Amino acid sequence: MSAVQDLLAPTTEAELAAIIADRRRPLRIIGGGTRVQLPPGDDMMIDRLTTTRLSGVVTYSPGEMTLIARPGTPLPEIEAMLAAEGQALAFEPPDLRGVLGGHGAPTLGGMVAANASGPRRLMAGACRDHLLGVRFVDGRGRVIKNGGRVMKNVTGLDLSKLLAGSYGTLAVLTEIVLKTLPHLPARATLVFADMNRAQAVRLFSTALATPFDVTGAAWRDGTAYLRIEGLEKQLIYRRDRLLALLAAHAPQVLDDAATTALWRGLRDVTNFAGSDAPLWRILAKPTDAPAICTALHALGGATSLDWGGGLIWYAGPGSAAQVRALAPHATLIRRAGLTGPAFPPQTGPLARLQSGLRQTFDPAGLLNPGLMDA
């Protein structure tokens, strides 16, 4: 047997289950390859299995705001289909092809496996909050269904929340049921120039404590941004109230078109595209974000903020040990030569929980070994 086998590309759930049930050699599960970079030389040790041929929409019911599709379905196709019906994925999944230099298409399964959620997570919640149900094949080759096709049928243990963000380490998704929501018809952005990170976080805290439904709060290159969306009359009211509340900061206002372009760039972290520096995605308590950024800057890189300060992007030098000593919840998105697990190692009760889950769903350690643990 050669060190690298042909790419495995099952076309049905039954074929996928048979492949996994008969495996003795680990598998690297990949979709469009647009969420996180794998360790260098990874394909020399682990066979690859792609979900791209497990593709297609099973059913879409705009009236019930429910979508059922297979994991290899390209995300742009899903978004275009929803837009034609005046609907959207409210959690605004990011497209990281720019920062990763990838050419594959983001897939629905990759989005769920990464729990990919953009700036609107502040208001709409994360990807996992919009999952109604899943079908999947676990590491034993068992086909399992969990959840329902409408919200009222989702009862019992919700395994879809467990699989969202597991990056294919517990199971391979074969069918995904998602809640869709109406597309918000109008948007505007309040722009606050000459603001440092600490000032921006205080501004975000003030704005997010209001009832004015802020759907984005981000900081980049000395400027803070607040986004509001909704029906036109609602939008005007919220904008004017926020302008009055925050008048001391002399905000400017961007119109709908400029807002759409700006937040697409913030969502996709385009300010760090085209760089050869490692890129880290860091979760933090918003009030801790300024101090963490200051410490990271001492390593020689740059940062930006999203989610009101709850999400830090850091691009720059520093080993995994150095970065995680300053920011424990740091995930390595773009490696740029760094090796080791992309995700921070778990310790104590979390490590035991993670080990127990792997033992239940994938006792032989076949699925994406080494990605989320050492």
Structural domains present in the chain: 1-183+344-374 (3.30.465.10), 186-267 (3.30.70.2190), 270-334 (3.30.70)
Both tokens of 143, joined, read 């086909």
241, 301 Cβ separation under 8 angstroms: no
**pLDDT number for residue 163:** 94
Task: Classify each residue of 273-304 as buried b or exposed e, where b means 16 or more C-beta atoms within 10 Å of its C-beta.
Answer: bebebbbbbbebebeebbebbeebeeeebbbb
- Strand 279-283 to 252-254 pairing: unpaired
**pLDDT number for residue 33:** 79
**pLDDT number for residue 304:** 98
52, 75 Cβ separation under 8 angstroms: no
Both tokens of 212, joined, read 């004015």
**pLDDT number for residue 295:** 97
Helix/strand number for the chain, H first, E second: 12, 17
226, 273 Cβ separation under 8 angstroms: no
108, 200 Cβ separation under 8 angstroms: no
**pLDDT number for residue 40:** 65
Q: What is the DSSP string of 167-198?
A: TTSSEEEEEEEEE-EEPP-EEEEEEE-S--HH
How many residues are recorded in the chain? 374
**pLDDT number for residue 157:** 64
Per-residue pLDDT of the chain (374 residues; tens, 9 = 90+): 334 456 899 999 999 999 999 988 899 998 887 888 776 655 567 889 999 999 999 999 999 999 999 999 999 999 999 999 999 999 999 999 999 987 788 999 999 999 999 999 999 999 999 999 999 999 999 999 987 665 444 455 688 899 999 999 999 999 999 999 999 999 999 999 999 999 999 999 999 999 999 999 999 999 999 999 999 999 999 999 999 999 999 999 999 999 999 999 999 999 999 888 999 999 999 999 999 999 999 999 999 999 999 999 999 999 999 999 999 999 999 998 888 888 988 888 988 988 899 999 999 999 998 887 65
39: phi then psi, degrees, rounded to nearest 5 = -60, 145
Task: Look up tokens 């969420």; give the residue.
Answer: 35
Q: What is the DSSP string of 245-283?
A: HTGGG--EEE-HHHHHHHHHHHHTTGGGTT--S-EEEEE
Look up residue 141 and give its amino acid: G
Both tokens of 119, joined, read 């700036």
136, 172 Cβ separation under 8 angstroms: yes
**pLDDT number for residue 156:** 54
